[in-house]
Structure 1
Amino acid sequence: MVKSHVSIITPSFNSEKFIAETILSAQNQTHQNWEMIIVDDCSTDDTVSIVQHFAENDKRILFFQLNQNSGAGIARETALSKAKGDYIAFLDADDLWKPLKLEKQLQFLKDNKANFTFSFYECIDEVGNRLNKRVEAPKTLSYRQLFFCNYVGNLTGIYEKNYFGKIAISTTRKRQDWMVWLTILKKIKKAKPVPESLAFYRIRNNSLSASKVDLLKHNFAVYRSFHGLNYVSSMIIMIGFLFTQLIIKPLYVKKI
């Protein structure tokens, strides 16, 4: 029986410190039937030469370069356009997968007759030290819950291409993943995560996660552009978002 083919979408930009470890975490998967499509957004460090070395030695790694710096959204959408897998998964150039990530998720999808899933994940700092923090999610995630807070870690999401098609990725520079999950949940209404940690999310000093002001700004933009809400409605919805972000979501962050 042929195992499901997975397309791994990876944008890169000045990721020389992390990209090799990220690629190795894909190569170390127990599920080996995958392609990793890396699209570089005009890096000025050694990212390109590192990825090219891996691509030369592993034909499953496909490498492309953008002609001008355009943001992660364009890089992801470019990678998606090249994808040939049965499933689409996402792994940014500084994050890591545990070896059983794909195998467990594909089995979970089969067992639950589902077309989309995600998982819990753990946090590491910029140099890879574990922060003893696991980010979980509701056992059943509804569209309404996702509307007020993105519970899906981008590095954990995987969906069936033949069911959803290739879901367009926003060209905005931030929060593209949240819009993908919203598109999915709008169709299927509810989703379940694999209830264990299958990945490591790297918190970098200059990341969006490190700036709460930027988080508010970009989330407001999602309500305005993706949901088509007017300014006043978006401001009102932001109250619900803040409540969820400050009161509800922390309940799903566990010390380990």
Structure 2
Amino acid sequence: MIVTVPLFSVVIPFRNAASTLPATLASLRRQTLEDWEALVVNDGSTDRGAALVVDLARQDPRLRLIDEGGVAARGAAATRNLGIQASRGRYVAFLDADDLWRPTKLERQAEAFAAGAPMVFSSYQRMDGDGRALGVVPAAARVAWEDALGGNPIGCLTAAYDTDRFGRAEMPLLPMHEDYAFWLALLRDGAVAWGLPEVLADYRVRPGSVSANKVRGAAAVWRILGAEGVRPAERVLHFSRYVRTGLARRL
């Protein structure tokens, strides 16, 4: 029997996302590039999210529910890693359960990969819980490891990487900014991520982004820079860039 391997594997972690998951999966199913599989990974949900995925998978077998049971949350990184481990596509992409993709997202990334990109991301639109636009976060044309030290320049919902280049690399098990640490790890050996200028995704700003979380996030970035071997004096400079970039995105 011939087994067809999809071009893209899309990893979608979810926890109690029954209210937003249908729209997220609908945006995926509207992709102009149809050669994908979705690993929809349950992180201990107690709502109807898993049942919704099962129902949709009957209509579209490209959707695969991954559910190890239990209600204890593993966290975003461990949940995404379960999806990566189950993935079969050459390119691994990420989408959260309350975010949306524009229809040509995978098509445009496939074009960049065909042109030689090892990792591709794009600009994205920030929106509130009611779908109102809050501003665009533009993608830089190219991002190397050194460029990323001043803060996370890559929206996780827009990113995809080539497993032929990186293997089925997994995210570090960190409580915050695990995606940022992951990009740095992928780029550390000289790879350069390609940015697409188009807005290809919509990021929903989550409630609860209070000052305490921002302080914890800043501390996490400081630790990540240290783990990357950045010397203390340089770490201060890069950290100040991170603070300025974060403020600019919210103006």
Q: TM-score scaled to structure 1, two decimals?
A: 0.87
Query: In the alignment, residue 56 of structure 1 is paired with which amino acid?
Result: R
- Paired residue secondary structure (1:211): helix
Alignment pair present for 1:93 and 2:97: yes
Q: What is the aligned partner in structure 2 of residue 197 from structure 1?
A: 199
Matched, 1:222 2:221: no
Q: Which residue of 2 aligns with 1:243?
A: 240
Change (3 A) 1:202 1:248: closer
Residue 191 of structure 1 and its aligned partner are, at CA, apart by 2.6
Query: Quick one: distance in 2 between partners of 1:201 and 1:208?
Result: 18
Q: Is the 8 A contact 2:13 2:76 kept in 1?
A: yes
Cα distance, 1:250 vs structure 2 = 5.6
- State the distance in 2 between where 1:87 and 1:209 align: 36
Asked if residue 13 in structure 1 is aligned to residue 10 in structure 2, the reply is no
Cα RMSD over matched residues? 2.5
Distance 1:83 1:18 in 2: 23
| Alignment of 1:130 onto 2:127 | no
SS in 2 for 1:89: strand
CA change 1:209–1:107 in 2 (3 A) is: farther
What residue is the counterpart of 2:73 in the other structure?
A: 69
Q: Which of 103, 127, 130 is 2:107 aligned to?
A: 103
- Cα separation, 2, equivalents of 1:217 and 1:37: 31
Which stretch of structure 1 is more off in the superposition, 160-169 or 184-193?
Answer: 184-193
Unaligned runs of 5+ in 1: none
Partners in 2 of 1:126 and 1:141 — Cα distance? Answer: 30
Deviates more, 1:92-101 or 1:172-181: 172-181
Separation in structure 1 between the aligned mates of residue 77 and residue 92 of structure 2, nearest angstrom:
15
User: Quick one: structure 1 residues 38 and 209, their matched pair in 2 at CA, closer, same or farther if it must change by over 3 Å?
Assistant: farther
Compared with structure 1, are the counterparts of its residues 207 and 50 closer, same or farther at alpha carbon in structure 2 (3 Å cutoff)?
Answer: farther
Is the 8 Å Cα contact of residues 90 and 164 (structure 2) preserved in structure 1? yes
Work out the CA distance in 1 between the residues paired with 2:84 and 2:21: 19
Q: Which moved more, 1:159-168 or 1:181-190?
A: 181-190
CA–CA separation in structure 2 for the residues paired with 1:195 and 1:210: 32
| 1:38-187 paired onto structure 2 within 5 Å | 38-66=40-68, 67=70, 68-111=72-115, 113-131=116-134, 133-187=135-189
Q: How many residues align?
A: 246
Q: Deviations over 1:61-90 (max 9, x none)?
A: 110123332111111011111000010000
How far is 1:228 from its partner? 5.7
Structure 1: distance between partners of 2:188 and 2:200: 25
Distance in 2 separating the partners of 1:216 and 1:191: 24
C-alpha displacement of 1:183: 1.8
Q: Which moved more, 1:11-20 or 1:177-186?
A: 177-186
**TM-score normalised by L of structure 2:** 0.88
Say if 1:208 and 1:214, in contact at 8 Å, map to a contact too: no
How far apart in 2 are the matches of 1:254 and 1:31?
Answer: 32
